[in-house]
Amino acid sequence: MQSPASILSDIWTSAGGDAAALARVRLTGEEPQIPSSFRVAVAGQTTIAAAGLAAVEIWRLRSGEVQDVSVDMRHVVVECRSERYLRVDDKPPPPAWDAIAGVYRTGDNRFVRCHTNFPHHRDAVCKVLGSEPEREKVQAALMQWKGEDFETAAYAAGGVVALMRSYDEWSALPQARALAELPLVSIEKIGEAPPKPWPQALSTGDRPLSGLRVLDLSRVIAGPVAGRTLAAHGADVLLVSGPELPAIPWLTIDTGRGKLTAFIELKSEAGRAQMRALLKDADIFSQGYRPRALAALGFAPEDAAKINPGIVYVTLSAYGNAGPWAERRGFDSLVQTTTGFNHAEGQAAGIDGPKELPAQMLDHATGYLMAFGAMMAKARQACEGGSWHVRVSLAQTGRWLWNLGRLEGGLNTPDITGDAVHAAFIESVPSGFGTLKAVRHSALLSKTPAQWSRPAMPLGSHPAQWPVRS
C-alpha cells in the first residue's frame, strides 16, 4: 500500500503543486487509529496536509517566507469527528439523527438508508410510503417495496435515500464509470481575467489567507468544513444562509468557528442583488447546494465569472459532475451506503447488513479537498489570471478512499472515546452559544499557526457585508 507521504504527493502534484514543497511536510502517527477496514485515518491526514501545504505555499508567495507544516494522525482523526467532541457549556451533543433516519430492510431482502434530518426530506419519505414518521410504521411500509424501486421513488419525490450496494454492484453502474474518468479535485479555467494582486501587505499576526474574502454557501459538514479551514488560515469567511433554510444546530456551531454569518433571501430580487454585490468583491465562492439550484438563481460558475472576473468558484456535489446521477442529492452516509463501503464494512465485521465507517470521512476529507482546491486555484489566479472552477464530490472522494486499500484486522482497533481525546487537541473558546470546548485544527504551521479569530455565532448574526480591509 502507498505510504501517507506518497498519497499526499499524488494529491499535491495532481493539482499542479511543486513537488519540492513536499519536503516541508511532516506526517506523524501510525494507522489504524479507529476501527475500520478502510484507511480512514490516512485519508484525513493527507487531505488536511494538502490544505495546510497549500496555505504554506500561499504564505511563501505573499511574504517570501518559507515555513513547515506537521500533521499528526491521531489529531486528524479527532478533528474529522469534531462534531462528536464539541461541548457547549460542558454539555455533549444531542442525538445526531432524526427519529426515522437510518437503515431498513425492504420486501426483496435488501437494505436502504433514509436521511431524514431535514423536515422536507422526512416528509418526502413518509409521503412515498404513505406512512407516519414512526420507525415501526416506516419499516412495515418498506416491506411492500423493492429496495431499488423505493430509492428511485423517494428521489423523485424530493427525498434522499440510498440502496445498500456491494462495491461490485456500484462499479457496474454508469455513474461509477463516469466517476472513473474524473480527477479527485478538478481545477478548470472558466474565463479570462487579469491576475488579482494579493489584498494587502502582510503584517505581524497575519496568516496566509489574511484579507481574502470567501463566500460560504453550504450546510451540514463538507462545505462548512472547507469554509472553517479557510478561516483557520486567516480568510474573511461569510457564511450565507436563508432564514427559512433548515440547518443542524450542533454542526452549525462546530463548523461556524471563524466565520461571519448573514441571512440573504436568494428567492427575492433584493436578496440576489445583495449576493451579487458581495460576489463582486469576493475572492472565493464556495457552495454545496443541490446541483443547479444556484444556477437557477443566476449564480452558476459562468455567471459568477461575469460578475467578478477572476473569481475562484468551488462546487461540492454528492455524485460528481458527470453521469446520470450528476444532479442527485446526497450526504456522506448515503454515499457510503450506495458505493459499497457499508456492505464491505459489514462483511468485514461478519454482520448481515450495513456497517458505517467510524467517521463521516467522505464529508470531512472532501471538505479539506475543497479548501485545498480553492487555495491552489487562488494561487494560480494570482500568478496567471483567469477565473477558475474547482469541483469535488463525496462519491469521488469515496472512490479515492477505496483505492487506498484495506486494513487487515482494522476493525479490531479500539475506538477513541471522548475521555481519551488528548487535551492538546481541544481548546476552550467563547461563542454566541456559550463556552465551547472544540477541536483545534490539526495542520500545525510553524510560523502562522491556524486559529479561528471569530467566535461561532447563531446563523444570521451579522450584516451581509464584508469587513473593512485594514
Q: Strand 87-88 vs strand 69-72: parallel, antiparallel, or unpaired?
A: unpaired
Question: DSSP string spanning 144-184?
Answer: TS-HHHHHHHHHHTT--EEE---HHHHHTSHHHHHHTTS-S
Which ranges of the chain have pLDDT less than 70?
291, 470
Predicted local distance difference test score (pLDDT) of residue 340: 98
pTM: 0.97
Q: What is the DSSP letter of 97?
A: S
Nearest Cα to Cα of residue 249 among 83, 9, 426: 83
Q: Cell match 491556524: residue?
A: 450
Predicted local distance difference test score (pLDDT) of residue 417: 83
Q: How many CA atoms lie within 13 A of 435 on its CB side?
A: 6
User: Rounded to whole angstroms, how far apart are CA atoms 182 and 323?
Assistant: 11
As given in the structure block, the three cell numbers for residue 439 are: 477541536
Predicted local distance difference test score (pLDDT) of residue 470: 63
Residues β-bridged to residue 186: 391
User: Rounded to whole angstroms, how far apart are CA atoms 127 and 136?
Assistant: 16
Q: Cell match 460576489: residue?
A: 279
SS3 223: helix
